[in-house]
Chain A
Amino acid sequence: MGEVIVITSGKGGVGKTTTAANLGVGMALLNKKVVLIDADIGLRNLDVVMGLENRIVYDLVDVVEGRCRTRQALIRDKRYENLYLLPAAQTRDKNAVSPEQMRKLCEELKEEFDYVFVDCPAGIEQGFRNAIAGADKAIIVTTPEVSAVRDADRIIGLLEAAGLRGSRLLINRLRPEMVKRGDMLDIDDILEILAIDLIGVVPDDEKIIISTNRGEPVAAQENGSLSGRAYRNIVRRIMGEEVPFLNFYQNRSLLGRLKKLIGFGG
């Protein structure tokens, strides 16, 4: 019996879809059987982030409306063993699916897959309600900005109200050099404010944009970027492993350490 994890945030543009894609790829690389559900009906994007946009035949709405079997709508990612995508419908809206239908679908997929990731749309309306309906756990994505953290707080409240326990926070697009300057909220600041457990921190990284351009998630690259490593670590934490958090604030140079000693740039 697998686990259904919804990736949510409240605010748009904080990296939910990129997160879903990378966690999916990371899981698949560890030989877990994974399916990603794009629950953002009407604004489907997970397919392009994954580079699978040309292979869509059926979608989520086709499945819940019984136009095809679930199996037929799942797109197998040929680059990784065990990774599948259930794309959102593009020409319908959030009301095309009900929470009850999503719950049923998640139950069905859990039977066959180790992990089911649901990429939740932005907002707190019907699309959000649908996406969390079948979820066992949630990963809340935020960025170190006032607006995103505020929305994350709202989402945490709504998830608790919906009876979803054990949500964890993913801080995305951290810029260590800005944190050092005192110009960006630090990990501890955000955790203190939201009072929630951390699943991981992903640094701001242009490699994410480059890899998204190509439709190849960064977590796929073995010896790749810091962001890719961060995602891989998060995947292992989801699986229950204790993985130390990456340190983004190392001062490698003597000058850096000196600066830290006297209080500049620590």
Chain B
Amino acid sequence: MNLKALLKALMGKQDSKDVAKERLRLVLVHDRASVSPEFLDIIKEEIIRVISKYMEIDEGNTVIQMHRNEGTAVLEANLAVKAIRRTF
């Protein structure tokens, strides 16, 4: 990191081009996979419904997102488990 980048980082400022790049990445993942945020919400609800059969899920602490990893799109689900149901 050069001095200029360090200064910017210390000031908590990000180059606008880095913001642009990050936004582009995100929007292209959705474009390429034809996945809208609404569609992701539907998937999220369904995943929670299925997992809830076996575990108690903290819905407020659940994040479902798509991102790119080395050229492939990855669907990542992070579910906070409150408890495991005894019946299984």
The digit string for A178-204, where 1 denotes a CB below 8 A from any CB of B, is 010111111001000101000000000
B23 part of interface (Cβ distance < 8 Å): yes
A146 to B15, CA, bound (A): 14
- Interface residues, chain B, with chain A CB atoms under 8 Å away: 2-6, 8, 15-18, 20-21, 23-25, 27-28, 31-32, 71
A146 to B20, CA, bound (A): 6
- Within 8 Å CB of B17, what residues of A? 179, 182-186, 189
A157 part of interface (Cβ distance < 8 Å): yes
- Within 8 Å CB of B18, what residues of A? 182
B36 CB, nearest partner CB in chain A, Å? 15
- Within 8 Å CB of B25, what residues of A? 193
Q: Is the CB of A185 within 8 A of B21?
A: yes
19 cross-chain CB contacts under 8 A: A146-B23, A150-B27, A153-B32, A154-B31, A157-B32, A182-B8, A182-B16, A182-B18, A183-B16, A184-B17, A185-B24, A189-B17, A193-B24, A262-B2, A262-B3, A263-B3, A263-B4, A263-B6, A264-B4
Q: Is the CB of A150 within 8 A of B28?
A: yes
Q: Is the CB of B21 within 8 A of A263?
A: no
B3 CB, nearest partner CB in chain A, Å? 4
- Within 8 Å CB of B16, what residues of A? 182-183
Given contacts A153-B32, A182-B15, A186-B17, contact A146 B24 (CB under 8 A): yes
For the complex with contacts A146-B27, A182-B18, 18 further pairs of A-B residues with Cβ separation under 8 Å are A145-B20, A146-B23, A150-B24, A150-B31, A153-B28, A153-B31, A182-B8, A183-B17, A184-B17, A185-B20, A186-B17, A189-B21, A193-B25, A195-B71, A263-B4, A263-B5, A264-B3, A266-B4
A154 to B24, CA, bound (A): 12
Q: Which 3 pairs show the lowest CB-CB distances between chains A and B?
A: A263-B2, A182-B15, A263-B3
A149 part of interface (Cβ distance < 8 Å): yes
Q: Could you tell me which residues of chain A, from 158 to 216, have a CB within 8 Å of some CB in chain B?
A: 179, 181-186, 189, 193, 195
A154 to B, closest residue via Cβ: B31
B16 to A, closest residue via Cβ: A183
A179 to B17, CA, bound (A): 8
A233 CB, nearest partner CB in chain B, Å? 25
Q: Is the CB of A193 within 8 A of B28?
A: yes
Q: Is the CB of A183 within 8 A of B15?
A: yes
- Within 8 Å CB of B27, what residues of A? 146, 150
